[in-house]
């Protein structure tokens, strides 16, 4: 398999790398520069792989490209211990995956990107405040949900935890308030055998 990722750390690509590490699947990578103008993900050669111009993309051994980080996670996790074996369990996992892409990533990942690389320059004060409030709301929902629970879905370590771990693990360092339940959950994810860290930022701007 071949994973298209970015030169600077991407939580969305990291999710896939973390699951591939747990599954002990070997893969090659191509790292694209998303800070160039235009981004290397918007160049014609990459748009033939993902017309939406985003990483990660996982190219399967037969050449099929799969886009959307959480769709890739689901594909890789089917029939493995990282996805529940019941229909309701899978629905719970998908609930968290869609929560991540709709209510969490657009605020926390964007805040991380602006903090370390992009700057908040062209955004209005209202827009910046909305990023912070909604990101915090997402973390607060996780905090309440994790009360008395070990993992996000069905009391098992699944791709729901892998997907949410990626950007939640950076949240405190970029100024969000992270509660005790979430902190303990982050630690439980990190202590899993086979856990790997996100790749280092070669520009040195991001310490995470």
* Residue ranges binding its own copies (CB under 8 A): 51-52, 60, 64, 66-72, 74-75, 78-79, 87-88, 90-91, 94-95, 97-99, 101-103, 105-106, 122-124, 126-127, 141, 144-145
- Least distance in Å: CB of 22 to its own copies? 18
- Least separation in angstroms between CB 11 and its own copies: 13
Least distance (Å) between residue 35 CB and its own copies? 19
Q: Considering beta carbons, is residue 155 or 190 the nearer one to its own copies?
A: 155
E strand residue ranges, the chain: 2-6, 28-32, 57-59, 65-67
Pairing of strands 2-6, 28-32: parallel
The residue among 22 and 54 lying less far from its own copies, judged by its C-beta, is: 54
CA distance 15 to 76: 11
Residue closer to its own copies by CB (options 85, 203) is 85
| Closer Cβ to its own copies, 177 or 203, answer by number | 177
> Tokens 């629970």 belong to which residue?
149
Kindly state the greatest CA–CA separation across the chain: 49
Apex 169 CA angle, 176 and 32, nearest 5: 110
Non-local CB neighbours of 187 within 8 Å, separated by 6+ positions = none
User: Is the Cβ of residue 138 or residue 178 nearer to its own copies in the bound state?
Assistant: 138
Q: Least distance from C-beta 99 to its own copies, angstroms?
A: 6
In contact, 97 and 163? CB cutoff 8 Å: yes
* 27 versus 192: smaller Cβ distance to its own copies: 27
Which tokens go with 123?
């955004």
Q: How far apart are CA 189 and CA 108, in angstroms?
A: 19
> Nearest distance from residue 141's CB to its own copies, in Å?
5
Residue 50 Cβ vs its own copies, minimum distance, rounded to whole Å = 9
């Amino acid at each position: 398999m071949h994973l298209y990722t970015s030169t600077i750390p991407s939580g969305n690509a990291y999710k896939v790398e973390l699951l591939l590490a747990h599954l002990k699947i070997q893969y090659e990578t191509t790292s694209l520069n998303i800070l160039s103008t235009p981004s290397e993900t918007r160049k014609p050669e990459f748009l033939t792989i993902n017309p939406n111009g985003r990483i990660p993309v996982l190219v399967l051994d037969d050449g099929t490209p799969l886009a959307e980080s959480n769709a890739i996670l689901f594909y890789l996790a089917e029939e493995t211990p990282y996805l529940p074996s019941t229909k309701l369990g899978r629905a719970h996992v998908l609930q968290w995956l869609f929560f991540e892409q709709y209510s969490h990533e657009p605020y926390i990942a964007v805040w991380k990107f602006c903090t370390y690389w992009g700057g908040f320059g062209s955004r209005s004060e209202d827009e910046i405040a909305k990023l912070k409030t909604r990101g915090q709301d997402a973390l607060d929902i996780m905090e309440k949900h994790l009360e008395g629970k070990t993992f996000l879905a069905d009391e098992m370590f699944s791709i729901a935890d892998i997907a949410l771990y990626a950007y939640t693990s950076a949240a405190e360092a970029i100024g969000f308030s992270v509660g005790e339940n979430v902190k303990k959950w982050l630690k439980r994810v990190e202590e899993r055998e086979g856990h790997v860290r996100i790749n280092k930022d070669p520009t040195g701007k991001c310490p995470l």
